[in-house]
Amino acid sequence: MMISMPRNHTKATIIDLTTGLLWLAMMSVTLIESDAYRYAALLLMSLTLISRKVRLSVTSKDWLAIVCLAWGTYTLARFLFGLIVFGEKGASEWLYAFALFFPAMGVALHASWHLVKPILMAFFCSALILLIVSTPFLAIMTGVQISPLFHHNSIHGAVGCGFVFIGAFYWTLHQWETGSSARTKAIVAAIAVMVVGLALFNIYGAKSKGVWLALVPALGLMIAAALFYLRRKAVVVAAIGGLLILSCGIYAVRDNVAHFGAATFNSVVSIVARLDDGVSLERVMQDAIASPETPISLDERLQLWANAIDVISVAPAFGSGNSWLAIWQTTPYRGVTYTLLHDGYLEILVRHGFVGLSILTLIVVSAIYRVYRASSTGVISSSAFACYLTFAVYFAFTILSNSNNRLAIGESYALLFAATCFACSIRLRSISAQHRSPLQADALSSPFPAQG
């Protein structure tokens, strides 16, 4: 006699499976560069509203949600105005309207909070398989520059590997902090160690100096998290051992690292020294661009940054909106082959000026503070907050020399960053409501509407 599952249970299982796959698609951009995350985000929000019947009103009185919606509305309206009135479409201007989705993504994560553990296990297992399959071991060992995983170029791949490396490290720390079973700790540690090793190996092979730089503060935060959040001898010893192994590895390939990075380093040191001597920024940049000793990659970036500074000077407060590309045609180095500025902060300033940068900074800092509060009240672990903070610092450094916020990996990260913030916010309000009204707390803490 066959025993059938209750219809509601089957439906819930299908919804959970679909939701889990969609979150994996959101995170997959670190491994495979594609636009799948965009469709996944739209489907996640739709599925949450329709199948899980979650109300967006849980964020309606949240001042940060209101700021995100207002900013997204402003940037979208400005883009449409520039497009319709002046015929200027700019380049990727509409991406700044993604803030409209931030609160809804938080609601979607809140509704699928119970799926986080299996999603992370599935993600890191997938990452391990893809790293093993895609890593050109021989080429990297011979010092050849490679493009990690399945990305469009080596820089994008290196950035993705950095996220995977940081995530795997904190995924392991979380198991120790929360007291997972010995079996779970062993499985997670085994997967994470291999993922960390392969990710770092690929980052070295990518020869992305910007990612190498970004990993320095990230590693500092990771070591601090192991020392101050866990304070467990075995974990501290493992962290120190890993650092020693990494140091030995860097020392072993120091000649290859110098071959790819020394010229850029020397040029940057020379530029900084001249600025310290009082030479104007404009003159220093002009001389560096003209110098045959400046590496090609740095020379192109300096041309892009010099042009961007000229564009920003036209409208420093609010930026030039869609029209920035028209102004670009009047800049001294307009012949440079592309307009991807290779600096995420300049990308914001040319479009929305210092006011726009200030608003985005407010959103980011407020989000970090909220997730910190969530860790302080037990909504998430301390290592989860440390991971969130390290991701933010790492990404902030990667966009110093690359426009990752204008690429798929940056867009996906922004949505996940915001989702975590607003999901934690909802759960924090649930805890506060428990001290006022049990019925209100149930309505906030449950992803489903209260039954009458």
pLDDT in tens, 254-293: 777 676 777 888 888 888 888 888 888 889 999 999 999 8
Q: Could you say which DSSP state residue 153 is in?
A: S
Residue 270 domain flag: no
Domain count across the chain? 1
Between CA 86 and CA 242 the distance in angstroms is 56
Between CA 243 and CA 47 the distance in angstroms is 43
Residue 162 domain flag: yes
Residue 119: is its pLDDT beyond 60?
yes
Cα torsion through 238, 129, 23, 405, rounded to 10: 80
Q: Taken in order 149, 16, 427, 120, is the CA torsion positive or negative?
A: negative
Confidence of residue 447 (pLDDT cuts 50, 70, 90): very low
What is the average pLDDT across 106-114? 95
State what percent of residues in the chain have pLDDT above 90: 69
SS3 146: coil
More confident call, 283 vs 58: 283
Whether 312 contacts 279, CB under 8 Å: no
Residue type, position 405, single letter:
N
Between CA 306 and CA 346 the distance in angstroms is 10
Residue 253: is its pLDDT beyond 80?
no
CA 353 vs. chain centroid, Å, equals 22
Residue 307 domain flag: no
Residue 131 domain flag: yes
State the pLDDT at residue 19: 96
Tally helices (H) and strands (E) across the chain: 18, 0
Residue 311: is its pLDDT beyond 50?
yes
What is the average pLDDT across 20-32? 97
Residue 422 domain flag: yes
Domain that holds residue 179: 11-252+342-445
Confidence of residue 229 (pLDDT cuts 50, 70, 90): low
State what percent of residues in the chain have pLDDT above 70: 89
Q: What's the predicted TM-score (pTM) here? A: 0.91
Residue 279 domain flag: no
Ordered alpha helix ranges (H), 151-232: 154-178, 182-206, 209-225
What is the average pLDDT across 169-174? 93
Residue 92: is its pLDDT beyond 50?
yes
Q: Is 431 exposed, middle or buried (0-12, 13-18, 19+ CB in 10 A)?
A: middle
Residue 329 backbone dihedrals phi, psi, to 5 degrees: -70, -10
Residue 204 domain flag: yes
Give me the residue label for tokens 């670190």.
30
What is the average pLDDT across 315-336? 94
Q: Could you say which DSSP state residue 234 is in?
A: H
Residue 310 domain flag: no
Give the chain's radius of gyration (CA, Å).
Answer: 23
Residue 445: is its pLDDT beyond 70?
no
Confidence of residue 420 (pLDDT cuts 50, 70, 90): very high
Confidence of residue 444 (pLDDT cuts 50, 70, 90): very low
Q: Could you say which DSSP state residue 321 is in?
A: G
